[in-house]
Amino acid sequence: MKKCVLIYNSKSGRGVNKIPFERVIDIVNSYGYTLSIEKTRKKGHATNIIKELDDDVDLVIAAGGDGTFNEVVTGNLMRKKKLLLAHLPIGTTNDVGTMYGFSKNIEVDLEWIFTGVKKNIDVIMINNTPFIYSAAFGNFVNITYETPRKLKEIFGRIGYFLFATKTINEKIRKYRLRITQNGKINEGEYSFMFITNSTRVGGVNNIYPDVKLDDGKFEVLLCKLTSKPALIKSLFFLINNNNMDNIPGCEYYKLSDLTIEFLDEPKYSWCIDGEELKSKSNKFKFTINKDLYAVLPEHNVKKLFIETKDNE
């Protein structure tokens, strides 16, 4: 039989989607796989787990939120022999899982994994650190990674808003940046930066209408919003137009290579896939890595990929 490993983050989500392990084992076995279950014990543990797996593992399923999947991808890219991955979303927001086409039903999602399509997926690198769908920097971005886990477990996505009330009176800061893209260098003041490879960010669907996960490019949004009224206006525009490529006060690009250099010392950290990226550098280079293969539900492949056939 083939070998499947389930890397499980029991702290993800609100507890309503906890895994029915007996049923999971039955489903995995029915597709000709044995199943080993590895439970994470702390932040970053999933990265170490997959790094140490044997090369003969046929499939690794990351059961958790976006951050858990990020950890598994990070560890996999450190391996000499990369393993085939799948994501079983049981987190709070589940931006990646929803984008991939998964449901909120664990048993259904497992069936979709084992009947799914193997795809080569672009992974964005920030200074050689991978992220799956989103990197953000600016005021209030820290809420994503500073919200206590307990709040997220009890209240789900509302927990972020509860924690955000503590920062509502903060002044919006501007940062002087030197931006290099397509060989051109530009300097300016910006308050928010979003680098994504996703149709969904922060629970908002279809933010970009033309995202492809195999085109070797990522979406870049650079914002010059400097007041709360301007921020509210832009958020209102986003919610009502459901499109980030035409937001007032923002610049939009599709790129395969980007460098952002802070000319002032940044107060905050980048947030990648919902987690804090701690770095002492003021210069951040974004590139594409093509080494990730993952299994996705067949019904969403046509929407997300240029090449819709199974990648051998």
pLDDT band of residue 78 (cuts 50, 70, 90) is very high
Q: Are residues 107 and 172 in the same domain?
A: no
Residue 296 in domain: no
Residue 299 in domain: no
Q: Is the pLDDT of residue 219 over 60?
A: yes
Tens digits of residue pLDDT in 23-62: 999 999 999 999 999 999 998 999 999 999 999 999 999 9
Q: Are residues 88 and 228 in the same domain?
A: no
Is 195 within 8 Å of 284 (Cβ atoms)? Answer: no
pLDDT band of residue 162 (cuts 50, 70, 90) is very low
Domain total in the chain: 2
Ramachandran assignment for 90, one of left (phi > 0), alpha (psi -120 to 50 degrees), beta (any other) = alpha
Is 292 within 8 Å of 84 (Cβ atoms)? Answer: no
Q: Are residues 142 and 187 in the same domain?
A: yes
Residue keyed to tokens 């389930």: 6
Q: Which domain holds residue 37?
A: 2-115
> CB atoms < 10 A from the CB of 27, how many?
17
pLDDT band of residue 160 (cuts 50, 70, 90) is very low
DSSP string covering 173-193: P-EEEEEEETTEEEEEEESEE
What's the whole-number average pLDDT of the chain? 85
Residue 258 in domain: yes
pLDDT band of residue 154 (cuts 50, 70, 90) is very low
> CB atoms < 10 A from the CB of 183, how many?
6
CATH number of the domain where residue 43 is located: 3.40.50.10330
As a whole number of angstroms, the distance between CA 159 and CA 147 comes to 7
CATH number of the domain where residue 185 is located: 2.60.200.40
> CB atoms < 10 A from the CB of 312, how many?
6
pLDDT band of residue 308 (cuts 50, 70, 90) is confident
Q: Are residues 153 and 250 in the same domain?
A: yes
> For residue 242, what pLDDT is reported?
56
- Among 58, 81, 115, the domain boundary falls at 115
Q: What are phi and psi of 113, to 5 degrees?
A: -65, -50
Averaged pLDDT, 169-197? 88
Q: Is the pLDDT of residue 173 over 90?
A: no
pLDDT band of residue 261 (cuts 50, 70, 90) is very high
Q: Is the pLDDT of residue 237 over 80?
A: no
Helices (H), the chain: 21-30, 45-51, 66-77, 95-100, 106-114, 142-146, 149-155, 158-164, 228-241, 301-304
Q: Are residues 144 and 207 in the same domain?
A: yes
Q: What kind and span of H or E run contains 121?
A: strand 117-126
Q: Are residues 34 and 155 in the same domain?
A: no
Q: Is the pLDDT of residue 151 over 60?
A: no
Is 116 within 8 Å of 295 (Cβ atoms)? Answer: yes
Averaged pLDDT, 214-218? 96
Q: Token pair of 189, please?
A: 């003041």
Q: Is the pLDDT of residue 164 over 50?
A: no
